[in-house]
Amino acid sequence: MALKTRFTELVGIEYPIVQGGMMWVGRAELAAAVSNAGGLGILTALTQPSPDALREEIARCRKMTDKPFGVNLTILPSVNPPPYAEYRKAIIDSGVTIVETAGHNPREHVEDFKAHGIKVIHKCTAVRHALSAERMGVDAISIDGFECAGHPGEDDIPGLVLIPAAADKVKIPMIASGGFGDGRGLVAALALGADGINMGTRFCATVEAPIHDKVKQLLVANDERGTNVIFKSLKNTARVCKNSVSDQVVEILRRPDAKFDDVAHLVKGAQGRVALETGDIDAGLIWAGQVQGLIHDIPTVAELMQRIVDDATRIICQRLQGLVA
């Protein structure tokens, strides 16, 4: 049974479930598995070391699935930024039809993608940002609650409030992110006004996720308290998995005079990649959300997706319907 929403109609998928565009994780193996299972898989552009490598990864994904998939392009302020325009061109030249943008000042990218007929989903952490993106012409919004892994913004608004607050004002399709990992969450998101869900951490704990099994086992072992919120004093709040590295970052940044330079050696992205790929849990930051408390196994993507859809369908058709006198 398909679950039809405005978002599934927009991007041509069977189920309103999207895989987050995660650095070092959003590779062809995972994206293709999600798309083949009826959702929307997402490749992470900047995981690839060059625009040409991204072209190759897109081609590799196409060999694994004939279903729709997208590419995430995250624009972050940097002293030495990657060649965003070249990555954008690689996406356009490869015939990708769906892009997820995130980060700061995406206008030039959004306008170019739209000019080439590409559907754009923009990731936001606040209603005001969602409305700005809607005015910019994006096709859909991904709204991130405070529970999510990564950067949840500076407002600390959890999904239970943020999703309906956004749904009250945003007119285009919207998917909800942060804390989603099962059928209950999908039904809740739909009830709050979203048109689907985005899952990152939950998809990390699947057979196809291209990360070390020790990391997957850590996500299963942790509960909802297994995260640290870092960088808040630097106005760049981030939620990561609790380990010795993130504990050190928290401790250092408690000092009133602490600066980013004091923790830079601990938070390098390359060290996080080492943790994901070698299973050395304390090698660097591991990005994960509070949904760890709802992760109890490591299924295949297809098994997870079917379980979510079956549970959601049962909740909608049996439990909720039975409550109506």
DSSP track, 105-151 = --HHHHHHHHHTT-EEEEEESSHHHHHHHHHHT-SEEEEE-TTSSB-
Buried-state track 16-47, b at ≥16 Cβ within 10 A, e below 16:
bbbbbbbbbbbbbbbbbbbbbbbbbbbbbbbb
Superfamily of domain 6-211+296-322: Aldolase class I (3.20.20.70)
Q: Tokens in use for 294?
A: 């709802």
pLDDT at 80: 85
- Mapping DSSP to helix (H, G, I), strand (E, B) and coil, where does residue 307 land? helix
Angle (CA) 113-118-123 rounded to 5° is 75
The residues of the chain scoring below 70 in pLDDT are 1
Q: Which helix (H) or strand (E) holds 315?
A: none
pLDDT of the residue at 1: 67
Residue 322: per-residue pLDDT:
85
Query: Strands 238-241, 227-230: parallel, antiparallel or unpaired by DSSP?
Result: antiparallel
Q: What percent of the chain has pLDDT over 90?
A: 95
Residues 237-266 pLDDT 10s: 999 999 999 999 999 999 999 999 999 999
Average pLDDT, the chain: 96
Could you tell me the CA-to-CA distances from 59 to 53, 62, 123, 290 in Å, in that order? 10, 5, 25, 34
Spell out the domain ranges in the chain.
6-211+296-322, 227-287
The torsion defined by the Cα of 105, 108, 112 and 115, in degrees rounded to 10, comes to: 100
